[in-house]
Each structure stands twice: as structure tokens, then as C-alpha cells.
Structure 1
Amino acid sequence: MPPMDDTNEDANKLSSTLLQDPSPTQPLLSKPYPPLDHPSTSETIEDQSKFLQISYNYGPRTFKDWPFLLLFSLLVLATFGFGIFASVNRNPHHSQVSSYFYNSSSSTCSLIDVREPSFLSHPISLNALKWSVLKSLIWTLVATLILSVPFVLFVLLLLKHYTKQIVYVSLPFFVIVPVFLDVYWFVACTVSSSCSESFPLAYRILILVFILLIIGVIVWIFVVNWHRIELTIKIICVAANALSQNLGLFGVLPGLTLVLVLYYAPIVVFLVFARFNGKVVPKEKNGEYSCVWKQDSWVPAYFALAILTMLWSATAMIEAQVYVVSGTIAQWYFSKDYDRPKKSLRTTLRNAFGPSSGTVCLSGLLVCVVRMVRAMVDSARREDAAGIVNLILRCCVNALIAGFDFLNKFTINFAAITGEAYCASARMSCELLKRNLLSAAFVETVSTRILAGIVFVLSAIYAIVVCLIIKAVGHLGVDAYFVAAMAWLLLLVVLGYFVHVLDDVIDTVYVCYAIDRDKGDVCKEEAHEVYVQLPISRSQRSAYSARTPVVV
């Protein structure tokens, strides 16, 4: 075995540096440093080289976690198979139960009147539907959906080149816009006789003060984290630059969402037809018989199967989108400026729905289970279930959920980069961040809040403009506010999806930066200049400081 003098000397230097400045928020050094978990005499050189070889896997990948892909495929096949059976064997007399009568001689129900329901007997009133409001709503939503594409690209361009300006310009609007809407609603409701009758003055004042308190909490959050605003701006700029270099994601990710919607359509039809599987049977009540609809016993089980399949498919598709974002951004990160990656998006899609499809299915299953458990815990909390046993179980479940969130934070990002299985990716990503004194719990939560605030401000301004235009060119009156609110909600959803993608980019660059630090390499210097300013993990730093003197 080679001598350990150089390694011990480096470790002593690093130990003295950490002990001289025990501040837990000191940024990482800008120059590369050796891995923090130095091997003891029992560790082998092969383990060290294994740690240093983490990088993007460009070569062919083997199938990982394939049993979960098989389980998911069987679940989908069973859902579609029983759905087709339910559609073919449905009872056409389901809607004619009222036309059946009980035949005492045969003790059965007989059909006496078979007539198709006449939709003309209940004419639709255009006045009841408010056709003018509906037409304005449709045109407004269509225009908003069309304009959302250039709007998202425009926001991305602003975040790439003018991040600091747009953040500092938007910060006052985080307070101005909610306060304006709150006060405007209070005044408008006071002036309107119908609204003032529905909401007495005491309720209006209570709502006004409550919203102002929420705005005050938001202001307090930004004041407390003001020292991190500059770092957040740089992180957003790096992520926006990375996303602008891979604009193909804006076509693929919505396409995957559309595929999920088309995949859901036949399952919804199967669920509707499954309700028609049954028969009309006599039912005795108080000595009198009547004819009722009795559903087949297997229908509830099919509903449970189909709903489980839909939930698992939704979470798996979300994880697949994160995988696609991570794999594409990682190829851009590890490529040289003069050697841009070719077909990176196609390669990532092939990996996501090929060798790593089992990993994506496993990740989606775990996320689905955790969300269901969290929903059950929240439901039990709302019901205020008493008892020490319920309290202990709730605490244990919350601890398990928190542990899963901790382990799952960067697992799918790491799997997209290396092609490893889910469990190996979870373990290796935690070890990678631990060796480099980086936190596995969060990257920079302020960036998400600022982006959400920017999205809210931009969508609110758009809704105000839409409301003014509708009131100027139309005669909808109060209904103009409803149309503007729907336009605001649609644009907020689109921009919220954009923020979600940008958050995935931030996480991916963070993992890539950790891999660079682990190897002592610099693939994207602009990313290193920003992420090196992130605070050191408090727990990992103290643990290393306690261990270092033993190496002497």
C-alpha cells in the first residue's frame, strides 16, 4: 500500500482550517480539496477510486429495478383488460330502473316501458348559461393558453439576463399587489349592496386584517432572509442559463403531460362503464317489494385497481419528467463549451423509458404511497383523533415521511446522471453530499419562494390587464372579474409548472456541482462561482471536525 504521508498532511491542514473558524455558515473553499471521509487503513484503494469515478454515464445502461416495471405493467394490463370487459358486458338497462316493476308471480323485476330519454324535453336556456360570459371565458382562456408560451420564454429570458433587476423590481410587488387586491375587494364589497349584504362589515374587516397579516408574514420572511437574496439571484441566473441551453424541454415536458392525459381518457371511460355492470333485482322493505339496481361485486375492486393505477401513473410520470430534466441538464453541465452534447434529450428519454423505467416506477410508487399516508395523517388530524396511541403513531409516520423526503431529495437526479438503481442512487447521493459537506435536505429554499412570488406578481398583473380590457370592450359587468380570475388561474398554473422545472434544474446543477467537487474538477465555472457560496452543512462539519485528529 502507498504511504499515507501526503494524505495525512492534507487532512491536518484541512482540520486546522476548520478548527480555526468554527462558523457553520462559512462558504466552501473555492479551490478543490480532498474527499472528507479519508480512508482508514482498512479501506482499499478500489473504494477510493470508486468514489472518484462518479460522473455522467454516457455508455449503455443496464435495466435497473425491473421487478417494479413488471408490477406496474401487470397493473396497467389488468386495468385495461377488466376495463374492456366492463365495457363489453355493461347492462344497457342501467338508466331504466324506474321503468321496472316487481312481478309477484315470478318474483322478478320486469321492464314495462322502454323509452330513450328525450333531451329535447329539457331545453337548454341560453340565458341560464349566460352565453356571453361563457363565450368571453372561452376566448380569454384560449388566448391566455396561446400567449403563455411566449410569456414563459420571455420570463426565462429576463431571468437569464436581468435576474437581479427583475427580482428587486418584483420584491415590492410581493406586497403591493396583494395589498391592492385586498383593499380593492374591501372597498368594492362595501360599495356593492349585494356583497355588503352577504358579508357584514365585521366579516369584511376580519378578512381584510387576516390577509394583511399573511402579507406581513411574507414581508418578515424576506427581511429575515435578506442576506441570502443576492445568492438566490445568482442561483436562479445559473439555472435559467442552463434551461435556456436546453429549450427542447419546453416541448417534451408538456408532451409527456399530454400523453398522461390521453392515457387517462380510456381509464375514465372504463370507470364509467364499470358502473353499468349489474342487474335490476327486487328488494323487500317493510313488506313491500321494489326494483333497485344491484352492482356486480367486482366493480368496487376494479375502481380501487383503476384509481391506484392512475395515482401510480401520475407520480411515475412526474418522476420521469424530473429524470428527463436531470439527464438533459447533466449532459449540458459535463460537456465542454466547444463540444455541445448532441441528441441529449433523445438519449435521456430513451434512458427514462428504457433501462431506468423500473427506477422511475419504483420512485413513483414510493412517492404515491408517501402522499397517500400523508393524506391519511392529515385527515386524522382534521378529525382530531384522541388517544396517546394515535399521537404516537402520527409522530412515527411523520418521522418516516420526513426521512423519506430526506433520502428522496436527489435520488432521481442522481439516477438520471449515473443510471444506478433507486436504492444505490439514494445511498450514493447522500454519501456524495456528505463527503463534500453539502446539505442533502435543501439547496436554497429562498429561490423557490422568490420564483413563486414573481410568478404570482406577473400573473396578477396579467389578470388586471385582462379585466380592464374586458370591461372596456364588453358589457359583462361583475362577470368580468370571474373571467379575469380564470385567466389568472390558468397563467398561474402554466408559470407554476415553469417554476417546478426550474427547481429541478437547480437541484440537478447542485448534484453535478457536488460530483465536480468530489473529483476536484470544474466543468462549469459559472456554477462553481455561485454554488461554492452555499453554507456548509452544520452536522457534517462538526462530525468531521471531531474525527480529523484521529487521522494524525
Structure 2
Amino acid sequence: MGLEELQREGETLVASAGPYQFTRSRKDAGWGVAFGLAYAAVVVAGIYGYVNRNPDFALINQDYLSDPENCPLHGGRRLREAGQGDLPAFDAGEFMSQAAGWLGAGVALSLLLGAAFLRLFQHLPETMTRATVLIQVAAPLAVGAGMLGSGQGRASLLPLGLAALSGLAFYLWRAEIGLASRLLGVSAHGLAANPHLITTSVLLGVASVATATPLAAALVLSFMNGDVVPNPGRDLAAAGGACLDEAGDPVLCCAWGVDPWVKPAAALGALAMLWTLLLANQVRVYVISGTVAQWYFAPPGALHATRGTTRCALGHAFGPSFGSLALSSLVLTITEALRNSAERNAQENQDVLSWVMSCIAQCLAGIVEYLTKFATVFMAITGDAFFAAGRRVTDLLARNLLDAFASTIWFTPMVIQLAAFSMAVGWGFASGGVYYLAHRGAAAGVEASPGLNAAVLGGMVGLASLFLLNFLGGVLLAVLDAAFVCWALDRDAQSVSHPEIAQAFDAVPRKGAVVEQPGGGLAYGGLAHEAPAQQRV
């Protein structure tokens, strides 16, 4: 729909410009149906749980569960209907009366911090990268120096050693770090050309929360089906009013026992919620990638090259490619479940084999997530089915990535995350510090603990800022991934759509030009034989 409207309005958008496919057929549709059925099943289970819930579930508190009369050993009984006192609510009256305005101002000004974050990476990527590297070395160095100055010589060895190792690692990887800074500049440039991606990402985030809320409610409602039963960890032979375990330690006399159908329903609900959240993230990556690709491959000089691109990408995400996105997010859901299972098994067993299996699971999960991300980017550009996109993008990455982008891919998220953390911590300290300076002279009757309120305020503002900056950092990284795949497709076609972006990616260590092998496959020859790429006109 977006393309047809733009063509009717006389815009210079050509469907055949570059590899971006505007007209697409529906792919992997069955997996979209499977997601819908799983979602509906959990919602139905939640409705059933609400209708059949134990109405006295809300009466449970620690005092109730400590009374053995409420779970006699001879058999279960329904919760008594006698009114029980509600749990006391946390009273933050003083904090809210004194710091509510400060909190609102601090969070609101975090938006300016976010704008500065993007501007700095757009115009000063090398400075931001060097600053984050310096902070990662200087922070443990300062901690170690402080401990050494206070007489804690042995304890200071750990932070000082960490600072030394970090400094050595960053020195050895200085070329890759410099390249990562240029790539972050590319990402910020792409985001500046498509500023509506931030608004779209925010709206998609809100939509994902709204979509996951019924599943969370269904999980809560399902656990309201059951009865109070004797605590399984309670020593049934113990006499007296107090309840003890086999070691003689006091425990709660009662526990909440759910109905038999609740556990499998809760497992399905948890998987469905994880699937939903991962699907929302895949949609976000898909929309960002599709939007960036349309801008990247737009003919030079096209008027309003970004007009309607997000709407077009959204239409593809919730239309022809929804099944593929459901499948890709299901793969990530299974991967995450297996990784968590291996990690939980290692923590429970505490043996070498379990830890080795957990490490293997972590590595395999990282590879699957990495390839799935690029398969999603490729789907957004070409409209391929998920597994077809995975095969094609793996081949593309093998020709462009193994000795190039991979050498910097681990640095760009590190720089983004550390920059976000540093700026958020700094803003939190500044907010709390200004509040304390303004309130430290308050009378005791007006504000009993200005220092504590300042610490809480600084922590809350810092957390809000960290959430915002990490969100913007995620958008930056998604733009970078999309720009890299677009550049790789350009390179396969021996063309240059954006010279400034190509210049940054061409700086990475890479192979030679694309050549056709006798069998028909593509490979790269030596750099000495590389023909100059032609700028697309």
C-alpha cells in the first residue's frame, strides 16, 4: 500500500531499485497461525482460571500460612472466609511529597540526555568510543587506588589487575575499536536520516507490552486455582503449635497447592509470553531493517526517500512476513528455554559436566541468536521465508563478515552499553546531588532524611535514564546491522548506493572482489584484482 500511494503521488521510488522487494508473497503462514492458537489457548486458560478461581486466594498472608489450623494434616480445606488483614502498603508519602516534582523533572530531562546521546554518536563517534574505553579502565583503577590508599593492599589487587588487563586488551584491539567508532557513526547517520524509527520503536514497545499483558494476567489467574495444604517441607511428626522442618528449623506450616491443570498451563503461558516478547523484538528489527533498506537503496536524488518507508515495512511485517517472524521468534524461544534449562541444571548439580554443557549451550545459543538476527534483517529486505533467508544471509556473511564485521561486532554493543551506563549513572548522581544540596538544610520536621531521599531519587532517575539510553542504543545497533547487510548486498552487485557508508565499511579488513567460479558460485578474489565498484546512479 505504501509504495502504490507514493507512486500515485509522483514520488521517485522505484520498486526495482536495489534488492528491496516491495511486492511479496506470504511465507511461513502456518507458523503465524500456530502463534495465534498458542496465544488464544493461554487466554482461554486464563478465563477458565478466573471463572474457577478460589475467591479467598487474596486472604493469604504469612500469618495465615503460619497457622497449622488452616491446613490440618488429615486433609485439605478451603480457605476460611473470615476476614484477614491486607498486607500493609509501602508508605512513600514523604518521598513523594518532597521529591515527586524533582523525579518528574529528572525523568523528563532524560529525554534531552537521550537526544545528546544520539547527537554525540552521530558527530563525535570516536570521542564517545575513546571516552567509554577510558572509563572502563579508569573506574577499576580509581577503586583500586582508593582501596590502596585506605590500607587495603591485598584487596586492591583485584581492581588494579582488572584495570591493567582492560588497558592491555584495549591496546591490542585499538584498530578494531577505532573501526567500531566509525561504524557507530554510520549507524547514527542512518538513524538521523530516518528519525521516525525512534517513534515507531516506542510505539512497537508499547504494543508489545499491551499484547503480553493478557498473558501475564492469565498466568496470575491460573495460580488462583488451588487450596492451602500442609507445607511439604514441614516435619509432620513434630508436635506443638510451631512448625519445623526435619532439621528443627521453623518453617511455614502451610503452602499454596495449585490444581493439577495449573502447572502445564503455566508452562505453556510462560513459553507463550516469551514467544510474544521475542516476536515483538523481531518485528522491531524487521521494521527498522526494512525502513533502512528502502532509504539505503532509494535512487540518488529521490524526493522524500524516507516517506512511507516505515508504513511499508510495517505492512510487510504484519502481512506476508508475519509467519516468518513467528517462526524466527519460536526458534529464539526454544533456544532461550534450552539455555535456561542447561544453566539451571548446572546450578543445581554443581558438577563439571553440567557446567561444560551449560557453556556449550550458551555458545550455541549465541550463534543461533546472531544468525537469526541477520536472517530477520535479510527477510526484511528480500521477503524470503525464514530458513531461506537464513541460508542466503549465512552465505552473504561468509563472504563479507568472517574477517571483517565479526572483528568489530563485539565492540559496538560494548561501547553503546557502557556509554549508556556511564551517562545514566552520571545523570543519576547529578540529580540526587542537586536535590541533596537543595534540601540538606531542611528542618527535621519538614524532611527527616534528605540524604536517603536524594539516594532514592538519584537511583530512580538513573534507572529511567538507563532504560531510555539502552532503548536508543538498541535502535542504533539495529540500524547498523541493516546498513551492513545493505552494504554487503551492494558489494555483491559491485555498486555503491551510499559512498559515505561504503567508505566506513570498506575500512574493515576484507577479501577481494566478487568473482564467479567455474561451478557458478560466488567468491572473492585477491584485492589486487578487485575492480572498482560503480556508484549507482
**Same fold per TM (> 0.5)?**
yes
Number of the residue aligned with 1:311 = 274
Tell me whether 1:63 sits opposite 2:26 in the alignment: yes
1:422 counterpart = 2:370: no
Per-residue CA deviation, residues 431-490 of structure 1 (Å, 9 max, x unaligned), is 223345765872623333233332233223222321320211124225533432332232
For residues 385-431 of structure 1, what are the alpha-carbon distances to aligned partners after superposition, in whole Å with 9 as ceiling and x for unaligned?
Answer: 5476x577557645643552453351111011111011111111122
| Offset of residue 212 of structure 1 | 3.5
Q: Provide the rounded CA distance (Å) in 1 between the counterparts of 2:88 and 2:397.
A: 66
Is the Cα–Cα contact under 8 Å of residues 106 and 431 in structure 2 kept in the other structure?
A: no
State the secondary structure of the residue aligned to 1:471: helix
Aligned ranges 1:421-500 → 2 under 5 Å = 421-436=385-400, 439=403, 442=406, 444-445=408-409, 446-475=411-440, 476-500=450-474
Q: Which amino acid in 2 is paired with 1:494? A: L
Work out the CA distance in 2 between the residues paired with 1:537 and 1:161.
29
The alpha-carbon distance between structure 1 residues 366 and 220, as it changes in their structure 2 partners (threshold 3 A), is same
Name which one, 1 or 2, has greater alpha-carbon Rg.
1
Normalization by structure 2: what TM-score?
Answer: 0.75
Q: Are 2:117 and 1:155 aligned? A: yes
Query: Shift of the alpha carbon at 1:492?
Result: 1.9
For the residue of structure 1 that corresponds to 2:395, the secondary structure is: helix
Deviates more, 1:326-335 or 1:426-435: 426-435
| Structure 1 residues 362-377: aligned runs within 5 Å | 362-377=327-342
CA 69–455 in structure 1, closer or farther in 2 if over 3 Å, else same: same
Looking at structure 1, the residues matched to 230 and 130 of structure 2 have their Cα atoms a distance apart, in angstroms, of 72
1:408 aligns with 2:372: yes
**What residue number does 2:187 align with?**
239
Q: Secondary structure at the match of 2:161?
A: helix
Q: Secondary structure at the match of 1:410?
A: helix
After TM superposition, the structure 1 stretch with the greater mean CA deviation from structure 2, 247-256 or 392-401, is 392-401
Counterpart of 1:524 (choices 498, 502, 511) is 498
Instruction: Report deviation, 1:164.
Output: 3.4
Does the 8 Å CA contact 1:63/1:356 hold for their aligned counterparts?
A: yes
Indicate if the aligned counterparts of 1:438 and 1:537 stay in contact, CA closer than 8 A. no
Q: Does 1:146 align with 2:120?
A: no
Query: CA offset at residue 82 of structure 1?
Result: 1.2
Change (3 A) 1:185 1:283: closer
Structure 2 distance, partners of 1:398, 1:292, is 35
SS in 1 for 2:19: coil
Amino acid of the structure 1 residue aligned with 2:461: A
Greater relative CO, 1 or 2 (CA 8 Å, sep 6+): 1
Once the two structures are superposed, residues 88-121 of structure 1 have per-residue CA deviations (whole angstroms, 9 ceiling, x without a partner) of 221213356869989x9xx99588x6443345xx
Shift of residue 496, structure 1, vs aligned partner: 1.6
CA distance in 2, matches of 1:110, 1:166: 62
The equivalent residue for 2:6 is: none
Determine the structure 2 residue equivalent to 1:351. 316
RMSD, aligned α-carbons:
3.9
Question: Contact 2:404–2:510 at 8 Å: present in 1 too?
Answer: no
Report the Cα distance in structure 2 between the residues aligned to 1:110 and 1:238, rounded to whole angstroms.
64
The one-letter code of the counterpart of 1:452 is Q
Give the % identical residues.
26
Aligned pairs for 1:65-144 within 5 A: 65-95=28-58, 114-119=81-86, 126=91, 129=92, 131-133=93-95, 138-144=100-106
How far the C-alpha of 1:280 sits from its partner, in A, is 6.8
Instruction: Note if contact 1:76-1:309 (Cα within 8 Å) is conserved in structure 2.
Output: yes
Distance 1:84 1:373, change over 3 A: same
Note closer, same or farther for the CA distance 1:347–1:490 as it changes in structure 2 (3 Å cut).
same
- Shift in Å at residue 266 of structure 1? 2.8
Q: Provide TM-score, normalisation by structure 1.
A: 0.74
When residues 185 and 489 of structure 1 are mapped into structure 2, their CA distance, relative to the original with a 3 A threshold, is farther
Q: Deviations over 1:262-288 (max 9, x none)?
A: 223333332222222235789996799
1:61-92 alpha-carbon deviations (Å, 9 max, x no partner): 11111121111111000011111111122121
Deviation at 1:58, TM superposition (A): 1.8
Count of residue correspondences: 469
Question: In the alignment, residue 224 of structure 2 is paired with which amino acid?
Answer: F
- Deviation readout 1:342-395 (Å, 9 max, x if unpaired): 21011111111221111111111111221222223333444465476x577557
Paired amino acid for 1:318: N
> Which of 208, 213, 224 is the matching residue for 1:265?
213
1:510 pairs with one of 450, 469, 484: 484
Letter in 2 for 1:116: G
Distance 1:267 1:66 in 2: 23
CA apart distance, 1:502? 1.0
Name the CA distance, whole Å, in 2 between partners of 1:518 and 1:291.
67
Preserved contact between residue 370 and residue 401 of structure 1 (Cα < 8 Å): yes
Distance 1:292 1:401 in 2: 36
The gaps in structure 2 that reach 5 residues or longer are 1-15, 240-252, 441-449, 516-522, 527-537
